[in-house]
Amino acid sequence: MKVNEVMNPEIYKVSPEESLYSAFKKLHEKGVRRVFIEEDTKIVGVVSYRDLVNVFVNKGIFELFDTKIKDFAIKDILKINKNESVAHAAQIMLHADITGLLVIDEYENPVGVVSQTDVLRVLVREFEQK
């Protein structure tokens, strides 16, 4: 099965100038585990729920009031082509200890996100069919 068959085509994005609180609120409201930082129509970073929790735990609340999301975004975004296998996506996530990948097309355009949950759904379907 290919990534484009299980991915979520919705990519939740925030501006690099948004606050950590704003990003955390978007994660909570949308029920997602990561937001991508978009600047000039390009995805330039990613921040996960786990990243934000670590920041909130390790910093004082007053230090975070004016902190921008760009200051904590991971710039090295792991991606996978939409035509790769779900198994390959799972291997990348497992090896990198992350919960999702940005899905791109053959022109490097972002087209969705594939998560551990998406991979687990595939596994459950496989087991149920046996």
pLDDT tens, residue by residue, 23-64: 888 899 999 999 999 999 999 999 998 888 888 788 776 677
Provide the pLDDT for residue 118.
95
Give the pLDDT score at 82. Answer: 98
Annotation: CATH topology of 3-129: CBS-domain (3.10.580)
Q: How many CA atoms lie within 13 A of 107 on its CB side?
A: 3
- Longest Cα separation, the chain: 54
Using a 10 angstrom Cβ sphere, with 0-12 exposed, 13-18 middle and 19 or more buried, the burial of residue 96 is exposed
Nearest to 112 by CA among 76, 94, 74, 86: 86
User: Each residue of 64-106: pLDDT tens digit?
Assistant: 767 888 888 889 999 999 999 999 999 999 999 999 999 999 9
pLDDT tier at 125, thresholds 50, 70, 90:
confident
Whole-model pTM? 0.87
Q: Please state, for a pLDDT cut of 90, what percent of the chain lies above it.
A: 67
